[in-house]
Amino acid sequence: MAQTLFYIIVVIIVASYLLERILEYLNMTYWSDKLPQELQGIYDEKEYKRSQDYHKVNTRFGFLTSTISLIAMLLILFLGGFAWLDETVRQWSTHPILMALLFFGILGLAADILSTPFSIYDTFVIEEKFGFNKTTPKTFILDKIKGWFIGAILGGGLLALIVWIYQSTGSWFWVIAWGAIALFTIFLTMFYSTLIVPLFNKQTPLEEGDLRKSIENFASKVGFKLQNIFVIDGSKRSTKANAYFSGLGSKKRIVLFDTLINEHTVKELVAVLAHEIGHYKKKHTTVNVVVSLAQTGLMLFILSWFISDPVLSKALGAEVGSFHMGILAFGLLYSPLSTLLGILMNIMSRKHEYQADAFAAKNYEAQPLQDALKKLSVKNLSNLRPHPAYVFVHYSHPPLLRRLRALEGEK
């Protein structure tokens, strides 16, 4: 049985890789050397060629990195790398929590170190070549260190808690672990912008002026209690622009990238904020949290059936069963269902984006939102003609042309 599970894991990994290559190939068939008719008025010939070049470079680079990752994973599996690491940590400690922390800590650190050269190339070569990168080597290094610190504290703490719950609660493991993860998720959703973001970026309240006044007037009009409007120094790392809504209840806030403010008119910015407020008014943030927690509950429920069976650990070459090896094997076996659930989440997310756009058009204006979306797409060199299959699997937002057509209907 263990050997059968091993080969199922191998098939899943290879199939996932092949699926991504097929989707990328389909996307490539939509590339064009000339500016397509439907993009005239959005891209000019020069910027369209830059966007095509940008996506070609990223696709080739993605193929290289994913192929190396596939080869590395298959080598680790067939050479018994996970079993070797399991034996190594057992020589240091036999305590279940310490073993799990050491096992996943070493795996995570090794994966991060191996991926760092690719991340450096992506940031300082590709993004630099196309005029996006503003990250300095110092910022890059500090981000790495901070990421390790947060992973150790939050990830390690949550892992230790889950292992303790498993050791202490028996058949009630999945219910209690689900409750713990739910509390952690809600806490992080509420306080992400106040606890995590400041470690990486500076957030300052939007200064008084026409923009703040216009935003406050719109918020008042639609009955949105707005206390926190912040500007984040996104230009510290990239010229790309964005805006987002975060938090729940009294902790909710709207965050604008400084790069967004610099590139858009007041009306366009209010339209973008109207879209973000639309997410709140339509309760999308709450729905996303609830659906995400439901998925976590399903995963833990299925996990509870198998985690105590040592066959999971033995599928990866371990001599004896352990929670950390069982979790790793289960995660690899669960990935097809995780991919399917991710696709369903993207379908829901795209629907939410249409609803937020419609809210902004109905309660503010459609035209400035359309103008803002066009500017953002051109500024970020977005692929405006993705293949429908690629959109179906990967896109959390509808492609620009579909959003523009939907907004036309709202006018």
Please list the active-site residues.
276, 357
Structure tokens at 210: 């026409």
DSSP at 398: -
What are the beta bridge partners of residue 133?
238
Q: How many residues does the chain have?
A: 411
The helix or strand, by DSSP H or E, that contains position 230, with its residue range, turns out to be strand 229-232
Tokens of 365: 């204006």
Token pair of 216, please? 């406050």
CA angle 29, 352, 343 (to 5 degrees): 50
To 10 degrees, what angle do helices 366-379 and 323-363 make?
A: 140
* Cβ 206 vs Cβ 231: under 8 Å: yes
Cα–Cα distance measured from residue 310 to residue 294, given in angstroms and rounded to the nearest whole number: 27
48: tokens are 């369209």
DSSP, res 199: G
Nearest to 406 by CA among 341, 353, 368, 364: 353
Q: Say which amino acid occupies 8.
A: I
Question: Which of 201, 216, 160 lies closest to 184, judged by CA?
Answer: 160
Distance CA 377, CA 372 (A): 9
